[in-house]
Every structure is written in C-alpha cells, then in structure tokens.
A and B are shown apart, each in its own frame.
Chain A
Amino acid sequence: MNPHRRSPLVIVSTVLVYFFLYVPVVVLVLFAFNSSKTNVNFEGFITQVGPTEIISGNVLQSPCGAFHWFCELAKNAEVRNATRNTLTIALISTFTSTIIGTLAAIALQRYNFKLKTFSEVSIYIPIVIPEIVMGIGILVLFSQLFTLLNGALNLSGDSQFTLGLGTVIVSHIAFSIPFVALVVRARLHGFDKSIEEASMDLGANELVTFWRVTLPSIMPGVLSGALLAFTLSLDDFVITFFTTGPGASTLPIYVYGLLRRIVTPQVNALSAVWILIILVAVFFTQRLQNRQT
C-alpha cells in the first residue's frame, strides 16, 4: 500500500477548499483592473493609454492604461500617509518586540525565578482572550491616564496627551511579545546545550558564548518570530482601531473607513500591491532562513 495514496473524497474536498481560499483573492486582484469606477460589475480592462477620459463612470482612457487605479493610488495622499504610519508602527514594534520576546523566551526556557508562573500565564493571556478585550482595556487605560495627566499638568491644546502613533506602537509591542516568545522558545526547546558547554570549556565567557553560539543557532526562530510580529502588526485592525487617534490611521483603518462609504477599484489596487509586497518579503525571509539552517 502506498502511504501517499489518498481517497478521492479527500482530494475533491482539498481542491474545493483551495478554490474557496483563492476565489476572493483572484476577484480582488482582477477588479483592480476594472474600468468601472463604481466597481460593482467588471466592465472590462482599461485598454487605451492617454489623457484620462471617463464616460458615465467608466474609465475609457488613462495615462497609466490598465494600471489606472494603481496610479490613482500612488497619487492618493491619505494612502501615502497611512502607508507611512503602518510601516513605522510595524518596523518599530517588530524590532522592539523581537528583542524583548527573545529575552523572555530565554528566561522562561533556561532560568528559574520567582515570577516565572505569573510570566508564563500573562504571556498566554493575549492568545486566549479576544483581541477586542485587550484593545478596550488599553483604550480605557490610556483615556483615564491621559485625562488624569492632562488635568494634573494643566495641559491644553496641542501639548495634551492624546491617542496616536505612540499609543498604537506600544500596544503593538505588547501583543507581539507573546508570539515572538512562544516561537523562539519552541526553537530553544530543541537546542543542544552541549555546544554551549563546549564553547565555555574552550574559554569563552557567557556573553561571548551567547553572542557567537546560542544566538546564531536560535536565529531562525528569532527571524520567524520577527516575521510573525511584523505580519501581525501589518494585519492588526482591532487593537489599532481602539488605540489610534486623529492623523495616525493605518492602512487597515483607512480601508475600513472607505468600505463604509464609497469604494473605487483603488482598494483593489491596494490589495494587489499589498499581496505582492508580502510575497516578496516572505520570499526573501525564506531564503535568509534557508541559508541560516
């Protein structure tokens, strides 16, 4: 009997589930090239290149040709601002949470200390409670704290503490740390301690051993933790929604705002670009990881 043989039923359902997963993605990308401005029906591609010409909601001609909506997207100042915010938040929170989470993983895997049980429990909480509970909690904390501080320091106008990029960044760091810690810890779990002992026997001190032996060998774990933190931050809607303030909206928040009003194929163009960028990022991370291992 061939162990790779699977029943036709399994194969058919597999194909159906892949179909279910991909139809929305294909539709999203296809409609990015829609000539219809209202984007309800697919009215065909924009075939003519030339000065923009729109007749009854249909784009007949555009300087960018079929890529009309991508050009409109690039011109959109709100999108540029939201992109800048999204990337700033993701980069800072990934960098910080990767370092903190890795340290936590080492502490939990290698050391015994007083608050260990408390730490383990608190690290699991963000995974087993809905995001909105944490988001609401942080919103309550900041609004009470800021009211208190603004009152006590007698601040007014622009110098007041308000929700914004700063509050979003610290919240993202907080919810990313547990995920980084869990991923790195899983890597540490399978780590052969004898190479560290060998390094110490050969005269390296603990710091050198960590830097030259331990860190390089857990690096794939650290990298996947960082990638996870980065994608979580990029994708996050709920926590950002409750911790953001005026002028600090991210792409998901911006898109959500659009969906409640009028949607042009710009949103589809944005999705297409988004998928492309993430695919490229993942491709490079994979290559980097393969080289490491």
Chain B
Amino acid sequence: MLRKLREDKSFQGTTLISPTLLFMVGLLVIPLILTLVISFGSRAADGTVIYGFSFHNYVRLFGISTECTGGKTICFDPTYARILSRSLSLAFNTTVLAILMAYPLAYFIARAPSKKRNTFLFLILVPMWTNFVIRVYAWMMLLRTHGVINGVLGWLAGLFGIDFTPFEMLYTQGAVLVGMVYEFLPFMILPLYTSLEKIDLSLYEASADLGASPIRTFLRMTLPLSMPGVVSGTILVFVPVMGTFIVSDLLGGRQIVLIGNLIQNQFLIARDPTFGSAASIILMIMTLIVTYFYTRKFGLSEEIVGI
C-alpha cells in the first residue's frame, strides 16, 4: 500500500482528491439525485413523500392545473409560471443594472495608478463584509415609508417649503431589484476589474495615436477585451439572484414571490417537498442552461476564479 502510494502517480492523485470526492458525492451528487427522485413522487397527507414516477409536479409548475372551477378537468393556472418568469426577468434586470454600474467603476480602478488600486478594491469589499442579511436590513431602513430616504427627502422639501408625501418604496418590485443589485454588485465589479486590468495601458495610447475617438476605442478595443470579465460577472450575479429568497422576502413582502420563495415555502410551510423539489430542479436546469449557452458563446475564463 505504502509502496504503491510512493510509486504510482495516478494512485497519488486519487488519494489526494478522495476527501473532496467524498464530500462532493455525499453532499452534492447524492442530494441532487434524491431531489430529482422526490420531485417525481407525491405528497402524503402527513407531509411525507410517496415515491413514484409522475410528472404532475412539473406539469403543475408550468401552469396546467387539475383543480379547476366550472367542471373542467384541466385548465391553465399561471400562478407558478408567473413566478418562474418573474424570477428570470428580475435576474436579467439585476445583471444588466449591475453591469452598467460596475463597468465605469471597474474601469476607473483598472486605470488608476497601480499603488491606489488595492485601496479602491478594498473599499469595494468593506460593505460586503457586513452580513448578507444585515445588508437587506439596511435597505429596509432606507426604503420604508418613514425611513431614511423619505426622511432626507422630506427634510429637503421642508427647506424649500414644498409639500411632501413620502414615497411607498418598500415592498415593491423596485425595492427587490435595488436590494439584489446591492447584494451582488461586487461580484460583477471584481471580475470586470480583473479583465480590464489586464489591458496594457499602451494600447489606449496606440488607439489614441491612430486617431480613434474615445468611444471607438471603447467599442472596438476595451469592450471586447473585457468580455471574459463580463461573462464571469454575469454568471456570478445571475445564478445567485435566481435562487435568493431573503431579499424578496424582506424587501418585497408577500407580493413579490420568486422561485426561491416558492421552494422555501413548499419545504417549510406548505410541507410539500415533492413540489418544492420539482421547483428546485427546474431552477437548477434554468441556471445551467443560461450558464451553458452564455459560456459557450463567450467562453469561460479564469476570471471566475479570481474572486
């Protein structure tokens, strides 16, 4: 055994990887298979799982209902399909907004004198070190009707003698969007910075010397060269937004239900793990499809590791 360990390179590799495989198989592969198996089952009256093979949970998720009014046996119930499309569009909007906000900042840092770059990056990370849940709470304080933003606006209005009715900002779609962008913005900034920082500064000079306008330089040189960062950032933002449920729970109230909320609700409140599992599988498939096509189109770079 010891001798084999000393001489057989392949055996050495297997030995080194085996603890990782133990964890990955035990706590990732097997759980995913179990989730899939359960999603084909149905729920017993006491909330336990009856194993079986039926697609009824998936059918229900995409809007085909068997509990209809008016004597019909089958009808369209858009409740869950709406949740799926709302999650997708929110993840999309968050990602676009994050790119628009992160790009100038990452560009600014990448072209700052190299000594100052670390300080600027450090300043991005500090808000991230408060806890995820606490950051949502901060936005609750800012957005609520008698909160900080309305307070400041009211005070400003008072200065100019204008009548002010506080805005209803909390428990809206916009609140969830802002919260999501705030939570995941650094995941966009860092990979963007990594790829922008790789661009040799002399390229900008060359482009200017050759008479390209700043806009042309950006479109023809900077943007294409920073695509790996955009791709990694998009994956790092899109994927977690799709699955997060506390932001919508706390900033969206009951109105804005995302697929994450649906899954959590099915497991902990509605006690239908089979339907929750089906939603979880669909969530995974949706993110994998998006990631797959996105990386196939643009290629997956090492920026994703750079975090």
Looking at A57-65, A126-134, A153-161, the stretch in contact with chain B turns out to be A126-134
B213 to chain A minimum Cβ distance, whole angstroms, is: 12
Establish whether residues A130 and B242, one from each chain, have CB atoms under 8 Å apart when the complex forms: yes
Establish whether residues B287 and A129, one from each chain, have CB atoms under 8 Å apart when the complex forms: yes
Establish whether residues A133 and B283, one from each chain, have CB atoms under 8 Å apart when the complex forms: yes
Pick from A1, A7, A123, A131: contact of B243, CB under 8 Å: A131
Which residues of chain A are near B59, meaning CB under 8 Å? Answer: none
A139–B25 alpha-carbon span in the complex (Å):
15
Classify the secondary structure of A's interface with B: helix
* Interface size in chain B (residues, C-beta < 8 A): 95
A174 at the B interface (CB under 8 A): yes
A200 at the B interface (CB under 8 A): no
Establish whether residues A123 and B20, one from each chain, have CB atoms under 8 Å apart when the complex forms: yes
Decide: A181 near B20, CB < 8 A? Known: A137-B35, A256-B133. yes
B74 to chain A minimum Cβ distance, whole angstroms, is: 29
A127–B144 alpha-carbon span in the complex (Å):
34
A289 to chain B minimum Cβ distance, whole angstroms, is: 12
B38 at the A interface (CB under 8 A): yes
* Interface size in chain A (residues, C-beta < 8 A): 94
A153–B260 alpha-carbon span in the complex (Å):
35
Establish whether residues A6 and B305, one from each chain, have CB atoms under 8 Å apart when the complex forms: no
A9 at the B interface (CB under 8 A): yes
Which residues of chain B are near A252, meaning CB under 8 Å? Answer: 131-134
Establish whether residues B13 and A103, one from each chain, have CB atoms under 8 Å apart when the complex forms: no
B63 to chain A minimum Cβ distance, whole angstroms, is: 22
B19 at the A interface (CB under 8 A): yes
Decide: A27 near B104, CB < 8 A? Known: A106-B16, A110-B13, A140-B273. no
* Chain A positions near chain B (C-beta within 8 angstroms): 1, 3-4, 6-7, 9-11, 13-14, 17-18, 20-25, 27-28, 31, 39-42, 100-101, 103-104, 106-108, 110-116, 118-119, 122-123, 125-134, 136-141, 144, 170-171, 173-174, 177, 181-183, 185-186, 206, 228, 231, 234-235, 237-238, 241-242, 251-252, 255-256, 259-260, 263, 267, 270-271, 274-275, 278-279, 282
Known contacts A126-B28, A128-B287, A267-B134; 9 further A-B pairs (Cβ under 8 A) = A1-B209, A3-B201, A39-B141, A113-B14, A114-B14, A129-B287, A131-B243, A170-B23, A256-B246
User: Which 6 residue pairs of A and B lie closest in terms of their CB atoms, listed nearest first?
Assistant: A130-B243, A111-B13, A137-B31, A24-B138, A107-B16, A113-B13
